[in-house]
A = this chain, B = another copy of it.
Amino acid sequence: MQAQLIALDWGTTSLRAYRLGDQGRVLEHRSLDAGIMQLPTTPRSIAGQRCCDGFELAFDEACGDWLDAEPELPVIACGMVGSAQGWREAVYQETPASVGALSSALVTVRSLRGIDVHIVPGVLQRSELPNVMRGEETQVLGILSSLPASETRKPLLIGLPGSHSKWVRAQDGRIVHFDTFMTGEVYAALSSHTILGRTLQRGDAFDSAAFDRGVGVARLPQGAAGPLSTIFSTRTLGLTGVLSGAAQADYLSGLLIGHEIAALVQLLKQTETALPAVILIGSGPLLERYQRALDASGFPQITIAEQATERGLWQVAVQAGLISSSSTADSRPLHVEN
């Protein structure tokens, strides 16, 4: 099937490339370890020129053959590729953010092939503690655009678990507020670079009882001590023979995620009277952990959403006029403005 768009989800450590057909259907996709912090370095020839630029090399590895076959395909990208350390900086758009706002603020970089790569800007929330995201805004807008209008009118909470989890509040199809929790990165730093790592053993099997015990800590009276204090129980429960080394890893994981969700509930209570419906974006074991912890914390409705990035990039591209929005219309891509 003829493609309509090449969509790139280009983050810090990975680069995912999608070849999308009519109505954003995924025709093909690839995942490369070519995030902006680990770009390829081996020079190669691109469009007849010897090239050693990491962004060009990664771009060519990701979709050079697709463009060889269909040189007119428009290309769109989101994520850290638009950061100050990226290929071309796409200045943050401020909250509230919508598909319309982002699609009218695309920044282009012309590749060696002469193809323009359209970069989606990240989102900035100004406040005493500012917040930023790059890539997640596209995922959230992709999910919002796939919901019926009746669903997007009410407040929604969209969670994106990761090494930096994002919790995004949306209403009327727009991102109105978001919070970042560095839970995953803190877990890695604690388990590898503090005393907790001396007794904690990482294993393959998920110890659900240890995880659930950890999740419950934030809701204990002693949980008021916060994670700077309660993490020490990972060690002391080992010293007192309650948790084996193998159980300590999932206990600490649950403890941190439990504190994250307890804090999220505190923040929600500042403006909401009831816990909102939650949509979790992602897949895999980490998502299951969050689902489990949200369940235990009383969230009434949790939905899992997939293909958020592809959908979001498709929507932004459509709204930016990079492609025809109708799959029954001319199937050749519109020419891209420069």
**Chain A 181-239 residues near chain B, CB threshold 8 A:** 181-183, 185-186, 188-190, 192-195, 217, 220-222, 224-233, 236-237, 239
CA–CA, A227 and B225, complex, Å: 11
Which B residues lie within 8 Å of A192 (CB)? 193
Return the CB mask of A137-164 against B: 1 if under 8 Å, else 0: 0000000000000000000000000001
Separation of A240 and B124 alpha carbons in the complex (Å): 9
Question: Contact between B236 and A131 (Cβ–Cβ < 8 Å)?
Answer: yes
Task: Verify if A267 is at the interface (C-beta below 8 Å from B).
Answer: yes
A233 vs B188: C-alpha distance when bound (angstroms): 19
Interface of chain A residues 256 through 305 with chain B (CB within 8 A): 256, 259-260, 262-264, 266-267, 270
In contact, B240 and A126 (Cβ under 8 angstroms): yes
Neighbouring B residues of A65 by C-beta, 8 Å: none
- Is the Cβ of B263 less than 8 Å from the Cβ of A132? no
Say yes or no: B220 contacts A129, CB within 8 Å: yes
Do residues B270 and A221 form an inter-chain contact, with CB atoms below 8 A? yes
CA distance in complex: A36, B185 (Å): 30
Total identical chains: 2
Contacts of A193 in B (CB 8 A): 188-189, 192-193
Beta-carbon contacts of A94-136 to B below 8 Å, as 1s and 0s? 0000000000000000000000000000001011111110000
Asked if residues B132 and A228 are in contact (CB atoms below 8 Å), the reply is no
Whether a CB of chain B sits under 8 angstroms from the CB of A179 is: yes
Q: Are B267 and A181 in contact (CB under 8 A)?
A: no
Check A226–B224 contact: CB distance below 8 A: no
Interface centre among A182, A230, A264 (most CB of B within 10 A): A182
Interface assignment of A180: CB less than 8 Å from any CB of chain B: yes
A177 CB to nearest chain B CB (Å):
11
Q: Which chain B positions have C-beta within 8 A of A195?
A: 164, 182, 185
For chain A, give the interface size range: 35 or more
Q: Are A130 and B239 in contact (CB under 8 A)?
A: yes
* B259 engages A132 (CB within 8 Å): no
Please state if A266 and B224 are interface contacts (CB–CB under 8 Å): yes
Residue of B130, B190, B264 near A186 (CB, 8 A) is: B190
CA distance A179 to B221 in the complex (A): 13
A185 and B194 contacting across the interface, CB-CB below 8 Å: yes
Which among A185, A195, A229 has the greatest number of chain B C-beta atoms within 10 A? A229
Q: Is there an interface contact between A130 and B233, defined as CB atoms closer than 8 Å?
A: yes
Find out whether the CB atom of B225 lies under 8 angstroms from the CB atom of A263: yes
Contacts of A267 in B (CB 8 A): 222, 224-225
A213: nearest residue on chain B (CB-CB)?
Answer: B128
- Which of B129, B183, B260, B262 is in CB contact (< 8 Å) with A233? B129
The minimal Cβ–Cβ distance linking A244 to chain B, given in whole angstroms, is 15
Chain B residues with Cβ below 8 Å from A194 are 182, 185-186, 188-189
- How many angstroms between the C-alpha atoms of A21 and B25 in the bound complex? 84
User: Are A181 and B228 closer than 8 Å at their CB atoms?
Assistant: yes
CA distance A331 to B228 in the complex (A): 47
Which 9 residue pairs across A and B have the least CB separation, nearest first? A226-B263, A129-B233, A189-B189, A130-B236, A224-B266, A189-B193, A180-B232, A181-B229, A181-B228
5 contacts between A and B (CB under 8 A): A130-B237, A130-B239, A182-B195, A222-B267, A226-B226
